[in-house]
Amino acid sequence: MTLRLLSLIAAALMLGAAASPGTPVREGQRIEWTMGDGRKAYRLGDMTATFDRVQCAPLGEDCAEGDLEPVLTLSRADGSSVRLDGSPMQNILMLGRLSKDGPVVAFFQDYTGGMHCCQRMRVVTPGGAGLTVAELGGYDGAEIGWPKDIDRDGIRDFVVSDDRFLYAFESYAASVAPPKVLNVIDGAVRDVSAEQRFARIFEKAAAGARKACIGEDYPNGACAAWAAAAARLGTLDAVWPVILSEYRRDPATWPDRCKVDRNEDGECPEGQLVEYPDYPTGLRAFLAETGYIPAA
């Protein structure tokens, strides 16, 4: 076989790959990709998702010639596209619609690494200006599945955890994070946790946190999560006396508050720190600061 013929075959294969629309997938189908998988493309409706490895840039101390980075490119038939950096460890993708008649979107989760962290979550949605990336945040724990329409309003709901409660009142192992419910509407993320239509999510969370709060050796993290879930349900005043009888008094920790932005090291400028005298006061202040109860 001549060199010219080999070149023609290779060129034909490359053109065929370039023209390939990607492997069709089902709505909400879980797609996992790692660096070893090489270039892979998937398609649902007019949305195509392509995983690949590209040369890092710019070249420097942390980037040498031949070093590859994972990327995910989302593109539509109208020519709009966006490229997201991925993870060298784990990448989870799902394509589907967030409402019955809505456009196809991409729900991308990748693992950033680090102690107890983080599953980064992003949703790519089409709009008048092309594709928009909505940042859902980074969360402790495993990835979540394709969102469900919990309240049956026609919009799928992302249920994650409020990780602000981790380490706030106990060690990581003894901390409990209440749930958080997010919607992505018109490319923007909305926290809809306070809506009463999600009460059953917080009823379940309250029951679990209550069990871990009462009679345990390290209850303060669970009691805080119970208080948060009860606040969502409008029952905080009813459960508060139980929390006061169950929380661990010695040793106990709780967050303080800085009246201004902390510096890069997390330190509060002198004279701007607000400290609370005990766990109940600190918990109440924390619930107000995080939006679970009105500020005093």
pTM over 0.85: yes
Q: 219 with 208: CB under 8 angstroms?
A: no
Return averaged pLDDT per consecutive 10 residues of the chain, 296 residues in all. Answer: 44 43 94 95 97 92 91 95 94 97 96 80 93 95 92 96 96 95 96 97 98 95 98 98 96 93 92 96 97 91
pLDDT of residue 116: 66
Alpha helices in 114-247 (DSSP H): 199-213, 220-233, 236-246
pLDDT at 129: 84
Per the CB < 8 A criterion, the answer to whether 100 and 119 are in contact is: no
Residue tagged 């053109």 (tokens): 15
